[in-house]
Amino acid sequence: MGGHILDLIRTITFLDVVDILVVAFFLNKIYQILKNTRAASLVKGLLMLLVIMLVSKWLNLYVINWLLEKFMTIVMFALPIVFQPELRRALEQIGRGKLFRRSTVLNETQIENMLEAVATTADDLSRNKIGALIVFERETGLDDYIETGVQIDGIISTALFENIFIPNTPLHDGAVIIRGDRIAAASCLLPLTEARNLNQELGTRHRAAIGLSEQTDALILVVSEETGAVSMARGGALQRYLTHNDVKDLLRPVMKQPMLNWKDSLKVRFNALRHRKDQEGGGDSVKKHSSEE
């Protein structure tokens, strides 16, 4: 067995390695594109069905395996239709060179500046009773909703937020979506919740915030136009009457975990591992010093 493996390794050439790396690179890019859409959940479901099909074949469960094979055949024909928006987006990104863009890791100062800008914006809008919807993307991508609005790709700032939400301006109606440290788009359309047991005081903005939080893991900041109350929707629930510090405390975990590409993810994990080893080494030296005393 070992001899066969060594013979196989000897047959691998430099071009084979390049071939594998190129395929891995583009598979990773496809994963990144799908991760930023609701199609990610569908892909996970298909992979789960594939695993079940393989297990059923291994266990000789002929009926289950036959049904799954027929179902997967139908799915393969349906995929181009189901993934039509994602396929179009992928081709557009290839044409614009966006497959090769890099993500950024924010430091503590940048995070605190962003939190202060968002909290101050909420205070100003609340005081003037200007309605607002600000969405913070997390693991579930929001590209489907970003495409319904006007793409901005601007730096987060109180001035930009307030200019967007000024009444009777082109972008004030709809939601602003935040991705990482940037305002990705404004005037975006969000799905309304179908829940019927909501407080009658809640208007369309609150229902849209709850609706998106039911379908994704995003956090949605809402400022009421009628009362000026600041609320946060997440997981289908709504936290109301938030203060300046409440907004910062709820958003801080989101800001500290931006969406990373595979290189940045490895870099962050490597730095965390190295930092942990340094701390353990420092602890060992302190223990050794104490024992010598």
**Torsion angle (degrees, nearest 10) of CA 83, 152, 256, 158:** -150
Report DSSP state, residue 86. Answer: H
DSSP 3-state of 181: coil
Report DSSP state, residue 240. Answer: -
DSSP 3-state of 60: coil
Q: Residues with Cβ < 8 Å from 216, sequence gap 6 or more?
A: 38, 138, 140, 142
The pLDDT tens digits for 210-229 are 999 988 888 999 999 999 99
Residue 85 has pLDDT above 90, yes or no: no
Residue 186, φ and ψ in degrees, nearest 5: -130, 165
Identity of the amino acid at 46: L
Residue 119 has pLDDT above 80, yes or no: yes
The pLDDT tens digits for 236-259 are 889 999 999 999 999 988 776 644
Identity of the amino acid at 47: L
Q: What is the pLDDT of residue 37?
A: 59
The pLDDT tens digits for 144-193 are 899 899 999 899 999 999 899 999 888 888 999 998 888 999 999 999 98
**Which is nearest to 227 in space by CA: 237, 214, 240?**
240
Q: What is the pLDDT of residue 76?
A: 75
From CA 39, how far away is CA 211, in angstroms rounded? 18
The pLDDT tens digits for 3-55 are 667 776 777 787 878 888 888 887 777 676 666 555 666 777 778 888 888 88
Max CA distance (Å), the chain: 77
pTM: 0.59
**Which is nearest to 100 in space by CA: 150, 15, 32?**
32
**Which is nearest to 83 in space by CA: 124, 30, 130?**
30
Q: What is the pLDDT of residue 143?
A: 81
